Amino acid sequence: MYRVGTGYDLHRLVSGRPLIVGGVEIPYHQGLDGYSDADVLTHALMDALLGAAGLKDIGHYFPPGVPDYKNISSLFLLDQVRVYLDQAGYRLVNVDSVIIAQAPKFAPYIEEMKTNIAAVLCTLPESVSIKATTTEGLGVCGRGEAIAAQAAVLLTRSIS
């Protein structure tokens, strides 16, 4: 049995915060605003995984305002999602994702992002696809006000 899930996240860019995407701190003059580290790629991926497994969204498991989650690494939260998937009897087949931003350029960091995510999900980096695109100057991402990400995943039932 296979199950597909999709996820989306968007965070506003602000001064005074590091820019963390895919668990990688990227040199940039702004970072993403949020309660955790605001890693849009990892958040979109978590929602895709939870949705594919028929579980609730990340806000249910990691609600903002809980002191334990303040500035927490989203890779740590992704690891907890992996545990939920294991408990529900699912394993990852593959991830396809895209980062949507006018700037900065993400190409130099994609392999490290893939390695980070694959390690947490106990899979091979080849099972994790990450792309980046601009919106040609349109919308909040195109104006440099925010960064978004989308993710799609394929899960299968674990063999017992």
Please list the pLDDT of the chain residue by residue as tens digits (160 residues). Answer: 999 999 999 999 999 999 999 999 999 999 999 999 999 999 999 999 999 999 999 999 999 899 999 999 999 999 999 999 999 999 999 999 999 999 999 999 999 999 999 999 999 999 999 999 999 999 999 999 999 999 999 999 976 5
Whether pTM exceeds 0.85: yes
Question: Measuring CA to CA, which residue among 83, 99, 133 is closest to residue 22?
Answer: 99
How much is the pLDDT for 64? 87
Give the pLDDT score at 28.
98
And the tokens for 52?
Answer: 């594919």
CATH number of the domain where residue 15 is located: 3.30.1330.50
pLDDT for res 62: 95
The number of domains in the chain is 1
Domain that residue 111 falls in: 2-157
Q: Please, which residues have CB within 8 angstroms of residue 55's CB and are 6 or more apart in sequence?
A: 84, 88
CA pair distance 122, 157, nearest whole angstrom: 15
pLDDT for the residue numbered 158:
72
Distances (CA, A) of 86 to 29, 71, 155: 38, 26, 11
